[in-house]
């Protein structure tokens, strides 16, 4: 990126996201944007300190990466451990894992839309920042806020009744799950579904109205060409728990299809930059940074041919009406998120009506049979990879984690630049302009605690700063 030594605007911290980050906007002499960067400034190190642990511990260890999406890490980790064991888990266990996953998907998407993004949409990007938050939303639109809270609560109840508790459940284990769903628990979830679906459809209608009233801004908001990646079923339908990888180009043409997730390293590579702890994945054959791709709700709908549940598939048809297959505006992550809520609720109903859902055949035992295990799912924010290398005793030798926020790193930087170019003018600068730059990041709903794990190869800069702000000394690595 361009070196700019004129004027820099720093947004620190970026608000209403999970984790810690800042944005720098570099202006030229005329006050126009010359460069932007999205800096992930926190570091976790899970890839390194998991080394030496017994592989069966990994679901519970890696779930602690994040309190927002522990279910996603539990499931990806359990799938990687299944691969180390070389076992096929019982069908009831797979149903229950997917049920847990759909609860996570619905509650996380509801949190993102109602708590983190709705204050911008319903109160206004230029509204008082002291009130532009979930508390301000409750004060001005209490009924909308209540419905959002109730919708999220249902997803949390799915997690609690299926997995035993709402956060960090010890439910998915290598070889299956460790508890069955009772008939009473199943019936309690079925009873809550109609209200949740009403609120899911309400959220979709709320967004339709906003988009209709602000169509030009919505279409242009952080809109740019990129490739897309997501899991699909063998028939090309939307998938979240199983499936294979599909890559599409900016026009929607399939570049790679039905790629076994176990072969992800054949198609994806990672780069690093000195100004961020977050790695930059890219499509190998296109190179860096030309191999930019997006994951998550927007990408999943762009790569899928259809959705296997009727209401969500009808919403997908509306998504594509008049626009073709591909939506490019980052704003449409919100729309895709709400369509996926409808899908998750429909899928929950299908799973609860499956005759095997309350079966007690939920686990198989085994010993480590393979030197590697790879588990891949579609977390709410996008494709999640857990890759473990083990020795003959099952001790972890190496770990690679690629999370949605990492896949989207190039795209988030591109989104920040697109919005800054349009809205940030130094001679007319106001807070609402900078809030729109932050909102570009919120579209991706990043989970930064999930995203920075590697140690040993990442660039590092440590500065010693005196009380007057003078840099007394600095040490760099990488």
- How does pLDDT run across 367-405, given as a tens digit for each residue? 999 999 999 999 999 999 999 999 999 999 999 999 898
| pLDDT for 430 beyond 80 | no
Q: 347 with 199: CB under 8 angstroms?
A: no
Top-confidence residue, 423 or 428: 423
Per-residue pLDDT, averaged over 242-265, amounts to 97
Residue 155: both structure tokens together: 């997803």
Banded pLDDT at 467 (limits 50, 70, 90): low
Share of the chain above pLDDT 90, in %: 72
Per-residue pLDDT, averaged over 283-287, amounts to 97
Least confident of 80-84, 186-190, 434-438: 434-438
Ramachandran bin of 191, using left for φ above 0, alpha for ψ from -120 to 50, beta for the remaining angles:
alpha
Per-residue pLDDT, averaged over 214-228, amounts to 96
Q: 323 with 301: CB under 8 angstroms?
A: no
Q: How far apart are CA 32 and CA 11, in angstroms?
A: 17
Q: What is the pLDDT of residue 2?
A: 34
Q: What is the pLDDT of residue 4?
A: 38
Partner residues linked to 447 by β-bridges? 18
Share of the chain above pLDDT 70, in %: 90
Per-residue pLDDT, averaged over 191-212, amounts to 97
Per-residue pLDDT, averaged over 76-97, amounts to 98
Residue 68: both structure tokens together: 């927002």
Residue 350: both structure tokens together: 């299908």
Q: How far apart are CA 82 and CA 56, in angstroms?
A: 9
Residue 135: both structure tokens together: 């508390």
Q: What is the pLDDT of residue 31?
A: 78
pTM of the model: 0.89
Q: What is the pLDDT of residue 457?
A: 40
- Give the other-Cβ count within 10 Å of 305's Cβ: 14
Banded pLDDT at 432 (limits 50, 70, 90): confident
Q: 462 with 475: CB under 8 angstroms?
A: yes
Instruction: Give the β-pairing of 293-294 and 460-465.
Output: unpaired
User: What does each C-alpha distance from 145 to 114, 202, 293 come to in angstroms?
Assistant: 7, 12, 33
Per-residue pLDDT, averaged over 442-461, amounts to 61
Residue 21: both structure tokens together: 């980050």
Instruction: Give the β-pairing of 227-232 and 293-294.
Output: parallel
Alpha carbon distance, N-terminus to C-terminus of the chain: 17
Partner residues linked to 58 by β-bridges? none
User: Which residue, 227, 230, 256, is CA-closest to 243?
Assistant: 230
Which positions ≥6 away from 441 have C-beta within 8 Å?
Answer: 14, 17, 21, 23, 38, 412, 415, 416
User: What does each C-alpha distance from 459 to 26, 451, 474 come to in angstroms?
Assistant: 22, 15, 13
Q: What is the pLDDT of residue 334?
A: 97
Q: With both helix axes pointing from N to C terminus, report the angle between 91-110 and 183-213 in degrees, rounded to the nearest 10.
A: 40
Least confident of 115-124, 213-222, 419-428: 419-428
Per-residue pLDDT, averaged over 13-24, amounts to 76
Mean pLDDT, the chain, rounded, equals: 90
Ramachandran bin of 386, using left for φ above 0, alpha for ψ from -120 to 50, beta for the remaining angles:
beta
């Amino acid at each position: 990126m361009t070196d700019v030594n004129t004027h820099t605007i720093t947004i620190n911290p970026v608000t209403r996201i999970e984790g810690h980050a800042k944005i720098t906007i570099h202006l030229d002499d005329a006050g126009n944007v010359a460069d932007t960067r999205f800096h992930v400034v926190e570091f976790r190190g899970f890839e390194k300190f998991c080394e030496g642990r017994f592989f069966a511990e990994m679901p519970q260890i890696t779930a602690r990466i994040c309190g927002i999406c522990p279910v996603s890490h539990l499931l990806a980790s359990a799938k990687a451990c299944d691969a180390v064991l070389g076992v096929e888990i019982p069908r009831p266990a797979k149903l229950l894992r997917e049920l847990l996953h759909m609860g996570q998907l619905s509650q996380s998407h509801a949190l993102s839309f109602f708590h983190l993004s709705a204050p911008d949409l319903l109160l206004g990007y230029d509204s008082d920042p002291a009130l532009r938050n979930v508390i301000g939303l409750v004060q001005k639109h209490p009924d909308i806020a209540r419905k959002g809270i109730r919708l999220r609560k249902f997803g949390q109840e799915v997690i609690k009744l299926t997995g035993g508790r709402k956060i960090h459940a010890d439910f998915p284990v290598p070889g299956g799950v460790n508890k069955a769903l009772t008939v009473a628990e199943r019936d309690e979830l079925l009873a809550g579904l109609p209200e949740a679906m009403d609120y899911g459809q309400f959220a979709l209608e709320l967004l339709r109205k906003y988009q209709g009233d602000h169509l030009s801004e919505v279409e242009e908001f952080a809109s740019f060409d990129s490739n897309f990646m997501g899991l699909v079923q063998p028939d090309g339908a939307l998938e979240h728990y199983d499936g294979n990888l599909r890559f599409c180009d900016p026009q929607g043409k399939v570049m790679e299809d039905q790629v076994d997730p176990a072969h992800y390293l054949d198609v994806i590579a990672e780069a690093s930059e000195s100004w961020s702890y977050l790695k930059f994945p890219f499509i190998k054959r296109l190179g860096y940074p030309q191999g930019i791709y997006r994951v998550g709700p927007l990408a999943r709908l762009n790569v899928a041919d259809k959705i296997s549940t009727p209401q969500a598939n009808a919403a997908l048809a509306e998504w594509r009406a008049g626009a073709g297959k591909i939506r490019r505006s980052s704003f449409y992550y919100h729309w895709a998120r709400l369509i996926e809520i409808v899908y998750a609720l429909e899928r929950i109903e299908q799973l609860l009506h499956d005759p095997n859902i309350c079966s007690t055949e939920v686990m198989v035992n085994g010993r480590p049979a393979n030197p590697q295990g790879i588990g891949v799912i579609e977390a709410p924010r996008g494709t999640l990879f857990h890759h473990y290398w083990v020795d003959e005793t099952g001790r972890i030798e190496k770990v690679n984690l690629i999370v949605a926020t990492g896949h989207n790193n190039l795209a988030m930087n591109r989104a920040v630049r697109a919005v800054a170019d349009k809205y940030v003018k130094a001679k007319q600068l106001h807070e609402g302009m900078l809030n729109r730059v932050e909102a570009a990041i919120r579209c991706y709903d990043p989970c930064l605690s999930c995203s920075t794990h590697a140690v040993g190869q990442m660039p590092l800069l440590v500065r010693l700063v005196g009380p007057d702000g003078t840099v007394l000394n600095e040490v760099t690595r990488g």
